[in-house]
Amino acid sequence: MTRTAARSIVTPDGLVVALRPLQADAPWVAAWHDLGRRPLLDNLFYDPDYALPAADAFGRDVQVALVGDRLPEEPGLRLLGVWPVQVRRWRWGLPLLLAMGWMHDFGIFGAPLLDGAEPARALDALVFGLRRLVGPRLMLTHVPTAGPFADLLSDWLDRHALRHARFWAHERAFLDLTDRDADGRATYLGHLSSRKQRKLRQAWDRLSADGPVTFETIRDPAALPAAIDDYIALEGAGWKGARGTAIADDAIQTRMMRAFTARFGARGAVRIDRLRREGRTLAAVVSFTTRGQLWSLKISYDSAVARHSPGALAFHRLTQAVVADPALTRADSCAPPHYPLPETFWTERLALAHILVEAPGGDRLFPLAARLEGWRAEASLRLKAWRDRLRARVSGKAAERAPDPDA
């Protein structure tokens, strides 16, 4: 391989791998949009209409690894791969270089965008190029451990006889209608027990006692700005606002959510589903879509009616809308593991993990890096378990103020 620019490499089969800052005015953004229409696997969080607005809040040190048929600045560029990364020099308290997939509080799926027609060639170039540009190891974050990307990665690792190690393995609620016909879609929610269905009906009746409740979906680009501001206000008035972690508490995140909504709204790829009563929002779910997949990003509810489970009722209605929409075949809850709300309604699970990968050419420090990452993961899980116990104890002492138990 030969260098053609300060942060670019040409691979043996003629592809160019480059590292560039994450910038909205970069000349290669149009080619990035084009790749987003034909990837092996969709990734909302690495779509330019999502990644670029997120840069102000979470992308200070992010670079974009680009695989193309020419330098990114040249006209006519065709991209085969895009992977936003953060170069870590002290991941384990030691000077061990690591190219790590970009993740943040609003971005928890890390499969690189790879050309659906030539994914193996794109992956080959991406990893070989990053070895020369960064170092001999990389970390794929929140990537699926089953499915087309997992199969591609496994075959690639086997072919090159490279080591890898998995960490943070977990599952989250997922909805998959791929193999279901119209009847299968219509009966998707048949797994709900008669007791659960009765509780949902009773909750709806109680919520409607003070006036009729309606379920509505906002998709019109002209109506979305007011709808997202309504959602931000709803979240800010609830428990997140009390903790100071609501979107409304951060001006940068507020601008980011408005930009997400405007960009995807112009594409017809955002929906805000909400329960309303007499002009008041009782619960709302903000979702985005990419090529037949829905990503349920945010949910909130009015804490004044939390005892009537408005979050669960809104998510139930959203699920009914998804299974009735032939344009949608999958839905990602984007939720933490064991989060009861989506797991109540969606029967499938998306298996994810962080995967530490040795780049071709070998990494004599890979065993050390894997051991250190294992210790780091174990310590983090212990800390999380301690926090969960503490929160459970606190919430138990203040049950009368607890949020919607189904949300």
Q: Could you give all domains of the chain from N- to C-terminal order, each with its CATH number?
A: 2-174+350-389 (3.40.630), 179-328 (3.40.630)
pLDDT tens-digit readout, 324-379:
999 999 999 999 999 999 999 999 999 999 999 999 999 999 999 999 998 888 88
In this predicted structure, what is the pLDDT of residue 1?
A: 42
In this predicted structure, what is the pLDDT of residue 392?
A: 65
pLDDT band for position 407 (cuts 50, 70, 90): very low
Q: Which of 242, 351, 334, 348 is nearest to 287 (CA)?
A: 334
Q: Is the pLDDT of residue 389 over 80?
A: no
Contacts of residue 397, Cβ cutoff 8 Å, sequence gap at least 6 = none
Instruction: Please check whether residue 312 is in contact with residue 200, taking contact to mean a CB–CB distance below 8 angstroms.
Output: yes
Q: Is the pLDDT of residue 400 over 50?
A: no
Give CA–CA dist 5/161, Å, rounded: 30
In this predicted structure, what is the pLDDT of residue 378?
A: 84
In this predicted structure, what is the pLDDT of residue 90?
A: 82
In 129-203, DSSP assigns E strands to: 137-144, 164-176
Q: Strands 280-290 and 270-277: what pairing?
A: antiparallel
* CA 3 to the chain's CA centroid: 34
pLDDT cut 70: percent of the chain above it: 94
pLDDT tens-digit readout, 307-323:
999 999 999 999 999 99
pLDDT band for position 126 (cuts 50, 70, 90): very high
Over residues 44-49, the mean pLDDT reads 98
Question: What letter does residue 203 receive in the DSSP assignment?
Answer: H
Q: Is the pLDDT of residue 402 over 50?
A: no
Over residues 255-275, the mean pLDDT reads 98
* CA 29 to the chain's CA centroid: 20
Residue type, 117: A
In this predicted structure, what is the pLDDT of residue 394?
A: 67
pLDDT band for position 93 (cuts 50, 70, 90): confident
pLDDT band for position 386 (cuts 50, 70, 90): confident
How much is the pTM?
A: 0.92
Beta-bridged to residue 296, according to DSSP, are: 287
Output 241-250 pairs: Cβ under 8 A, ≥24 positions apart: 250/57
Q: Is the pLDDT of residue 388 over 90?
A: no
Average pLDDT score over the chain: 93
pLDDT band for position 398 (cuts 50, 70, 90): very low
The better pLDDT of the pair 116, 2 is held by 116
